[in-house]
């Protein structure tokens, strides 16, 4: 059995896989990582391999503790992947984006796929039907946009994510919600439309922390899959396993 650890900008996702089947998923604060790992070892004594992907601040001590417990694979750009990387700066490609592309290749082989990861940032990644990764885009996520309006202005308040009641905001708060949420929705729908104009047989995946919030409001046809990155990490561990 495999343990998958995705260390994000704010939280850590842990998942237990038996081959390709997800058995358990937990979301915790980084400070609680090792305690939760210990609990999973008790619940799943068959665990022996693990992969960790970190875009956050995983300490060397935490990594060493994981190495003591498992045959640990730390995700980086030098591992074996099931695609050709045509990114101009492959060593700068985020490990989270690599995992998403791997998941797309496994689940949608021989298809053009656009993966949209809506989290702290919104990332767009395109993999061709020939399994060539071409790149994509990065923009601020919903939470980041709310925070930017508050941090970079003198009077705009920091608001919680809310579905706008109307297109035309009739108050400052309503205007912020309309601007942030409709701005992201139009960005995503517009990006999908641009890709479909070039690739008519496009498959679109929406994943990340804001998947549930956004998927109900998008006009475009998408596959919403909240565990896509975790599946990609499990696939990478399988590809690079010595067993």
User: Using one digit for the tens of pLDDT, what is the confidence trace for 110-122?
Assistant: 999 999 999 989 9
117 is in an annotated binding site: yes
Q: Is the pLDDT at 243 greater than 60, yes or no?
A: no
**pLDDT band at residue 59 using 50, 70 and 90 as cut-offs:** confident
* Residue 185: C-alpha distances to residues 191, 220, 222, 227 (Å): 10, 10, 13, 21
Average pLDDT of the chain, as a whole number: 94
| Angle, alpha carbons 23-110-54 (nearest 5°) | 45
Q: Are strands 12-18 and 2-7 parallel, antiparallel or unpaired?
A: antiparallel
What CATH topology corresponds to 84-232? Answer: Nucleotidyltransferase; domain 5 (3.30.420)
Do the first three CATH levels of 2-74 and 84-232 match, i.e. the same topology? yes
Task: Average the pLDDT over 190-214 and give the result.
Answer: 95
Where exactly are the structural domains of the chain? 2-74, 84-232
CA–CA separation, 155 vs 158, rounded Å?
A: 10
Q: Is the pLDDT at 242 greater than 80, yes or no?
A: no
Q: Are strands 203-207 and 223-224 parallel, antiparallel or unpaired?
A: parallel
Alpha helices in 29-156 (DSSP H): 33-43, 60-69, 95-107, 142-151
167 is in an annotated binding site: no
Q: Which of 3-7, 75-79, 84-88 has the lowest mean pLDDT?
A: 75-79
Question: Taking Cα atoms as reference points, which of 19, 133, 22 lies closest to residue 82?
Answer: 133
96 is in an annotated binding site: yes
CB 138 within 8 A of CB 116: no
Question: Taking Cα atoms as reference points, which of 97, 148, 146 lies closest to residue 126?
Answer: 97
- What's the pLDDT at 29? 93
Q: Tens digit of pLDDT for each residue in 228-239?
A: 999 999 999 999
- CA dihedral angle for residue 17, residue 18, residue 19, residue 20, rounded to 10 degrees: -50
Helix %, strand %, coil % of the chain (to 5): 40, 25, 35
CATH top-level class for 2-74? alpha beta
* Active site (catalytic) residues: 96
7 is in an annotated binding site: yes
């Amino acid at each position: 059995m495999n343990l998958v650890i995705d260390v994000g900008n704010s939280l850590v996702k842990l998942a237990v896989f038996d081959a390709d089947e997800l058995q358990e998923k937990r979301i915790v604060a980084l400070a609680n990582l090792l305690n939760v790992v210990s609990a999973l070892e008790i619940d799943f004594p068959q665990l022996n391999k693990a992969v960790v992907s970190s875009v956050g601040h995983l300490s060397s001590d935490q990594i060493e503790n994981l190495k003591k417990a498992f045959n640990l694979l730390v995700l980086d750009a030098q591992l074996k992947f099931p695609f050709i990387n045509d990114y101009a700066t492959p060593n700068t490609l985020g490990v989270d984006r690599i995992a998403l592309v791997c998941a797309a290749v496994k689940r949608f082989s021989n298809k053009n796929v656009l993966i949209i990861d809506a989290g702290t940032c919104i990332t767009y990644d395109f993999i061709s039907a020939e399994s060539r990764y071409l790149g994509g885009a990065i923009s601020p996520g919903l939470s980041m946009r709310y925070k930017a309006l508050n941090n970079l202005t003198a009077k705009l308040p920091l608001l919680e994510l809310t579905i706008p009641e109307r297109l035309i905001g009739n108050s400052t708060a309503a205007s912020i919600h309309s601007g942030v949420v409709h701005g992201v929705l139009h960005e995503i729908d517009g990006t999908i439309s641009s890709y479909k104009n070039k690739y008519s047989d496009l498959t679109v995946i929406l994943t990340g922390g804001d998947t549930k919030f956004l998927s109900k409001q998008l006009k475009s046809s998408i596959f919403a899959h909240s565990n896509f990155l975790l599946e990609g990490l499990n696939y990478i561990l399988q590809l690079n396993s010595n067993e």
